[in-house]
Chains A and B, each alone.
Chain A
Amino acid sequence: MSENGAASPGDDPSDQFIGGDNDEGPRVEFYGGRGMSAFPIAFFIVWAIVQTALWRIGDTGGLIVGILVGLILGMFFVRGNWKTYANTIFEGMTQPVAVTAIVAWIWAGMFAQLLQDGGFVGGLVWLADAAGVGATLFPAITFVLAAVFTTGIGTGYGASVAFVGLFFPAGILLGANPVLLFGAILSGAIFGDNLAPVSDTTIVSAVTQDADIGGVVASRFKYIIIAAVVAFTGYIVAGSAMDGLEISGEAQAVFLESSEAIGLVHVIPMLAVIGAAVAGRHIVEAISWGIVIAIAFNLIFGLASLGDIVMFNAPSDAPFAGPLEFLPVLTIVESSDVGVTGSLMSGVAGFFELSILVLLIIGAAQIMIRGGAFEVLLDWSLENLATNVRNAELTMVATAALINSIITINTAAEVAIGPYISKIGERFNLNGYRRANILDGQTAAMGYIFPWSGGVLAGYGAMQTLPEQYEWLDQSMLVTPIDVVPFVFQGWLLVAVFVIAALTGFGREYITDRETEEVARV
């Protein structure tokens, strides 16, 4: 390992120091050298770019096929026994980091859906209207509300979909610029994805850097709020400078049609989850409380019925379906409609494919680690880029941003790059909070900027259904994803804040300053 750039004590045998590439464990050797062990991941990245960027297909299932094909083809480059290669995939997939994230997504997914089905977004719209928000302020206010919403529910993709569905048409009606509006929604999703204790990326960043979630959230607040204050100002300035579309004045009523104040009651379960998570309760416990309270509120205030929450749709020939049909959670349907539906089901269902994809990517990442490509990359970065702590942090920012701007699903990218950030950061004894914050800042930002980013695809997908729902809204009023890139202010500003933080030492904490608390809470 090369000598570090800083001054060294004069009398130590520095040229004889060697680095830590002597990990035990099975090795997988490849024809073509250690770099070839990156083949499955590299193949997947190319597949993801072709599928999502060139052909605009944001289908997680397709990405699963991509990583599977990559893993199969990679096997043919293995020198010696293929069994080790197969076992290494299993070794990667069974790491606690993957399972922890998946458990949290499933819980968070159910919670988010209960809030959405309970009219929470409608309540927020009602509040914006009651406060008399006009065209100039609308994008800035949308940014704040999307940020609050995402911080509560933890899923930026869900927030993008929900806010494009409700705030986008409302904003266009009010005369706000559609591109700016979409940018504001994505910016809010970035804010929440980055800060929320129940966010998948927050959880992955904390777990991969051995840090507690409450401490991570508290320590990253400073970076996020600085970016957010500038972004908020930016949306006000741009809101007054950029014109909206000409809409016939018929339909302001549409704005309020679906909006009721009662949905705001869901601020309480949201706060309960945030409070419990920040106070250090187990994330499963925290979100479970949110789920229980949200279900209770939905039922008590008539926001959703028991059948909306969970419904068994049984075929007419099922032996016990007929006699029990009086149950509020059972209904007899045509054989083509058989299944279980409701908020809990649809909340969980959104994460099935992503869970499998992430497990496979971690399997492929383990091949890269055991095969040595990870070491090649790490050694090269340490020797050529991370020559001192400032450059090390800049390297962490740049690599995390690069990987996340390439891989569509930002959580998957974060899982792949997590070990690398951990290794570089630990070398300079940066504490877990700082490492997790550098990692997740770029992860959240880059997941919502480019046309192939998961957040943009989710929002754009929701947008395309709008012309069917509103007569006055046609295809030409929709935003082309490439146009929104410069207007995702929170994303660009967050990256800028971390570049400045690396250069100046703002927010930097060493392990000797403060150790992270036990991660076992997760």
Chain B
Amino acid sequence: MSLFDKYLAGWRLRTSRPSFEVGSEIDIFIAESNGTSGRAYVGDTELVVEGAGPETIEKQVRVRVTEFDETTASGRGEFVEVVGESSYAE
């Protein structure tokens, strides 16, 4: 991204419920886990991430989106790998 583009980025009203395409891979933080799958929020969009256990909570993980329903802004995905830590990893 050029310097000029950096200044122009974000001059818009961004939805609270972003959509994702099935098959795409996204890197997101996992908020919660029930032991076998995790849940992530991107804004108010919810994704259930299969295979994201408690060890992935508050970690940034790569997720392959497998289902997505735009009307409910919710979907499912598969855990691929851990790609990052929280800014305040202790």
Contact = CB atoms under 8 A, between A and B. Distances in A.
Contacts of A23: 90
A427 B40 CA distance: 7
A210 B85 CA distance: 10
A8 B45 CA distance: 8
A17 B34 contact: yes
Interface stretch (A45-53, A74-82, A213-221): A213-221
A422 B29 CA distance: 12
Given A423-B88, A505-B14, A505-B15, A18 B32 contact: yes
Contacts of A510: 14, 18, 42-43
Interface size class of A (residues with CB under 8 A): 35 or more
- For B29, B37, B38, the residue with the greatest tally of chain A CB atoms inside 10 Å of its CB is B29
Given A9-B74, A12-B39, A427 B31 contact: yes
Nearest to B90: A23
Nearest to B69: A9
Instruction: Give the contact-size bracket for chain B.
Output: 35 or more
B87 A25 contact: no
Interface in A1-55: 1, 4-9, 12-14, 16-20, 22-25
A9 B76 contact: yes
A24 B11 CA distance: 40
A384 B29 CA distance: 21
Contacts of A315: none
B40 to A, nearest CB: 7
Contacts of A281: none
A217 to B, nearest CB: 9
Interface in B34-76: 34-35, 37-46, 48, 54, 57-58, 60, 69, 72-76
21 contacts: A4-B44, A7-B72, A8-B74, A12-B37, A17-B32, A17-B39, A20-B57, A22-B57, A388-B16, A390-B44, A418-B88, A419-B88, A422-B86, A429-B41, A432-B87, A504-B13, A505-B14, A505-B15, A505-B16, A510-B42, A512-B18
Interface of B: 1, 3, 6-7, 9-18, 20, 26-29, 31-35, 37-46, 48, 54, 57-58, 60, 69, 72-76, 86-88, 90
Interface of A: 1, 4-9, 12-14, 16-20, 22-25, 208-210, 214-215, 218-219, 221-222, 278-279, 369, 388-390, 418-419, 422-423, 426-430, 432-434, 504-515
Ranked 9 nearest A-B pairs via Cβ: A20-B57, A17-B32, A218-B6, A6-B44, A508-B14, A20-B58, A210-B87, A16-B34, A389-B43
Given A219-B6, A423-B86, 9 more contacts: A17-B32, A17-B33, A390-B16, A426-B58, A426-B87, A427-B41, A428-B43, A510-B14, A511-B28
